[in-house]
Amino acid sequence: MPIVTRRTLLAGSAAAALAAGADPIAATTPPAGKQTAGIYRYKIGTFELTALYDGIWYRPITDKFIRNAPFAEVEHALADAFMPADKLATPFTTLVVNTGRKLVLIDTGTGGQIAPSAGALRRNLAAAGIDAKAADVVVISHFHPDHINGIKDKDNGVVFANAEIMVPAAEWNFWMDDANMNAAPAEQKLAFRNPRRIFSDIARRVTRFQPGAEVAPGILTLAAPGHTPGHTVCSIHSGDQSLLVLGDTAQHPAVFARHPDWQAAFDIDGDAAVATRKKLFDRAAADRMLVTGYHFPFPACGHLIKTASGYEHIPVEWQLVP
Ligand SMILES: [Zn+2]
C-alpha cells in the first residue's frame, strides 16, 4: 500500500488542480467577511422562544478575579476552556418569549456600550422579524449594565417603546439607593450611576416585582440572590414543558459550572452566589431540565449534568424546525 505523506498529498492536489486548469490561488467565490444573524428558535409547549445573540466580550481578568481560588487554578481552567490566559469569554444572549398573547424580552444586552464585539441585539431582532415596539414586557434579571443597557440606545432613547419594564424590587432598592451609592468604593460608583441613567427618566414605565411574581402568563420569577442582592431567574412553563432561565447564576459554564464553588469578583455576596448556583444547578440536573444562561455560549440553552467535581453543560442540538 503506498504511503501518503502530507507532501505527496499536496503535490498530488496541486498537480490535479493544474491538470484541471485551475489556479489554486484564485478562489472563484470571494469570502463573505461577515457573520450570519445570531438567532435560534425553539419551543416550550406552545410558546415560541427566540434566543438573540448580542455578541461577546473578552473580559480582562487579574489574580483578584476569583476570590477563593489560586490564580494558577483559574488560569488552568481558562486554558481547559480554550480561553485566552487573562480573559474570560463572556457571551451575551437575550431571550424573546412569544406566549401567543404577550411578547416578552428577558434582559436587553449591552446596547453596544460595553465592547465593540457586542451590541448586535437590535440587528438580530430585526433579522428575526421582531419589531422592538411590539414587545409588551421587558423583564430584567438584575441591574448590571450588560443586562439593562439595551433598554436604551446611545442617545438615551427607549428601544422598547411600548413595553412595561419589570424589574426585581430588591435590585431597584439596592442600586437606586443613594446611601448605597455613596458608601460604594470609587471603582463601583459607575455601577450605581448606570441604572440611574437608564431608569430615572422612565421610572413611570417601570414595575417593581417581588420574586414569585408571574411577570407574564407562564413566566414565573424566582429569587436567586448572590451575584447581586436582587438577582432573579425565571421559569417558563407551557403545556408539559419548561425552561429555567438562569441569568447570571453562573457565567461561562466551561469555567463556572465546572467550578461551582468559585466566587468571582463581580458576585456581590460570594457565599450566596455559590449557594444559589448549586441549588438551581442541582435542581436542573436532577430534573433533567432544559436551561438557558445569559453568558452561556450561543444559543445558550442545553442541559446540566452533575459530575464528580461540579457540573457540565451539554448544549442543545440545532433543530431545523423549532
Ligand atoms: Zn451579566
* Among 59, 61, 64, residue whose Cα is nearest residue 270: 64
CA of 3 to the centre of ligand 1 (A): 53
CA of 24 to the centre of ligand 1 (A): 46
CA of 62 to the centre of ligand 1 (A): 18
CA of 247 to the centre of ligand 1 (A): 7
Give residue 202's pLDDT.
Answer: 96
* Among 156, 163, 164, residue whose Cα is nearest residue 200: 156
Cβ proximity of 173 and 230 under 8 Å: yes
CA of 201 to the centre of ligand 1 (A): 23
**Rounded distance, CA 236 to CA 245, Å?**
8
Within 10 angstroms of residue 197's Cβ, the number of other Cβ atoms is: 14
**How is the beta sheet containing 214-216 ordered, strand by strand?**
214-216, 219-223, 232-238, 241-245, 290-292, 301-306, 311-315
CA of 305 to the centre of ligand 1 (A): 22
CA of 293 to the centre of ligand 1 (A): 10
Give residue 27's pLDDT.
Answer: 72
CA of 309 to the centre of ligand 1 (A): 24
* Among 171, 166, 168, 191, residue whose Cα is nearest residue 181: 191
CA of 1 to the centre of ligand 1 (A): 57
**Rounded distance, CA 293 to CA 299, Å?**
9
CA of 119 to the centre of ligand 1 (A): 14
CA of 90 to the centre of ligand 1 (A): 8
pLDDT in tens, the chain (322 residues): 445 555 555 555 555 545 555 566 677 999 999 999 999 999 999 999 999 999 999 999 999 999 999 999 999 999 999 999 999 999 999 999 999 999 999 999 999 999 999 999 999 999 999 999 999 999 999 999 999 999 999 889 999 999 999 999 999 999 999 999 999 999 899 999 999 999 999 999 999 999 999 999 999 999 999 999 999 999 999 999 999 999 999 999 999 999 999 999 999 999 999 999 999 999 999 999 999 999 999 999 999 999 999 999 999 999 999 9
CA of 295 to the centre of ligand 1 (A): 7
CA of 16 to the centre of ligand 1 (A): 52
Length of the chain: 322
Sort residue 200 into left (φ over 0), alpha (ψ -120 to 50) or beta: alpha
| Torsion on CA atoms 89, 170, 111, 215, rounded to nearest 10 | 100
What does residue 24 show for φ and ψ, rounded to 5 degrees?
Answer: -65, -15
Within 10 angstroms of residue 297's Cβ, the number of other Cβ atoms is: 17
Q: Which three cell numbers stand for residue 189?
A: 460608583
**Rounded distance, CA 269 to CA 8, Å?**
61
Q: What is the DSSP string of 143-188?
A: -SHHHHGGGB-TTS-BSSTTPEEEEEHHHHHHHT-HHHHHHS-GGG
Query: Residue 132 gets which letter from DSSP?
Result: G
Give residue 6's pLDDT.
Answer: 55
CA of 109 to the centre of ligand 1 (A): 9
Give residue 154's pLDDT.
Answer: 85
What does residue 249 show for φ and ψ, rounded to 5 degrees?
Answer: -55, -40
CA of 302 to the centre of ligand 1 (A): 18
* Among 151, 163, 72, residue whose Cα is nearest residue 108: 151
* Among 79, 75, 111, 78, residue whose Cα is nearest residue 92: 111
CA of 14 to the centre of ligand 1 (A): 50
Q: How distant, in Å, are the alpha carbons of 76, 285, 304, 312 from that of 307?
A: 18, 10, 9, 7
Within 10 angstroms of residue 315's Cβ, the number of other Cβ atoms is: 14
Query: Residue 134 gets which letter from DSSP?
Result: G
